[in-house]
Amino acid sequence: MTHFPDVISKEAFIAQVRGQLIVSCQALPNEPLHGAPIMARMAVAAQMGGAKGIRANGVEDIRAIRQAVDLPLIGLYKDGTDGVYITPSSWHAQAVIAGGAHVVAFDATRRPRPNGERVSDVLRAIHAQHRLALADVATLEEALAAQADGADFIAPTLNGYTDQTAANATPDFDLLRAMVAALNVPVIAEGHINTPQQARQALACGVLAVVVGSAITRPQVITANFVRQMSAPLR
């Protein structure tokens, strides 16, 4: 099915996703849609709706999605639920690449990593396999550090998920604008984007593309939001 080769250039990826939507198709083991065949169908639905890229978690899901859609794939490997758990090591990055990801997303915060590795070690492992690297960060300082280490793309995915940024539960458009102004590498908007209006606002900040996950692909989260909003008093 896929026409994208295993290795694509940074220029080709940028041309594919510029100004477009990337859909994150992920389901954790305790969620009803967990499973590679289901996530592959979710990716097909996203492509039919106009998505120009997919973000996926886990080797099995990545392989299934690569076979199902003709889109570039950002892959990651979640290991655990606390601290640095998004593609935390070089080994995890290599597994994601073996699954068929074109771009490897990884936690590039400055928190302690497994085996004492550094962000630069994970980047080196990704680039050694001629894949692109997307650094997930929480702050502008981490974004600048990831750029210095050689990340190809940077996203504020972890803003709101670290001790320093835990109070943030909505898209930080000020951070997006600051990253776009300060960085020389493309910024991809990701994190807390739940409406088309927020996606448009993110694009207006100057980012390359927008990633949306839960608001599209996690029906239990979408349902809970409806229930919460319906229970709130009318204004």
CA distance 229 to 8: 42
**Position 118 in a domain:** yes
What is the tally of structural domains in the chain?
Answer: 1
Phi/psi of residue 136, nearest 5 degrees: -90, 120
The CATH number of the domain where 128 resides is what? 3.20.20.70
User: What digits encode the pLDDT tens for the residues 12-54?
Assistant: 999 999 999 999 999 989 999 999 999 999 999 999 999 999 9
Per the prediction, the chain carries an average pLDDT of 95
Q: Which residues contact 231 (CB under 8 A, 6 or more apart)?
A: none
Of 54, 52, 65, 126, the C-alpha closest to 96 is 126
**Sign of the four-CA dihedral 92, 96, 97, 102:** negative
**Position 137 in a domain:** yes
User: What digits encode the pLDDT tens for the residues 118-137?
Assistant: 999 999 999 999 999 999 99
So what's the pLDDT on residue 4? Answer: 81
So what's the pLDDT on residue 132? Answer: 98
Of 38, 99, 47, the C-alpha closest to 74 is 99
Average the pLDDT over 83-100 and give the result. 97
So what's the pLDDT on residue 235? Answer: 72
Band (pLDDT 50/70/90 cuts) for residue 215 is very high
So what's the pLDDT on residue 204? Answer: 98
So what's the pLDDT on residue 169? Answer: 86
Band (pLDDT 50/70/90 cuts) for residue 98 is very high
Band (pLDDT 50/70/90 cuts) for residue 115 is confident
The CA–CA distances, whole Å, from 81 to 14, 88, 101, 141 equal: 31, 11, 22, 24
Query: Helix H segments across the chain?
Result: 10-17, 36-49, 59-68, 90-99, 119-128, 140-149, 173-182, 196-204, 214-217, 219-231
**Position 161 in a domain:** yes
**Position 4 in a domain:** no
The answer, yes or no, to whether residue 1 has pLDDT greater than 80, is: no
The residue range of the domain holding 122 is 10-231
So what's the pLDDT on residue 17? Answer: 98
User: What digits encode the pLDDT tens for the residues 178-189?
Assistant: 999 999 999 999
So what's the pLDDT on residue 2? Answer: 56
**Position 2 in a domain:** no
So what's the pLDDT on residue 198? Answer: 97
User: What digits encode the pLDDT tens for the residues 141-197?
Assistant: 999 999 999 999 999 999 999 989 988 889 999 999 999 999 999 999 999 999 999
**Position 5 in a domain:** no
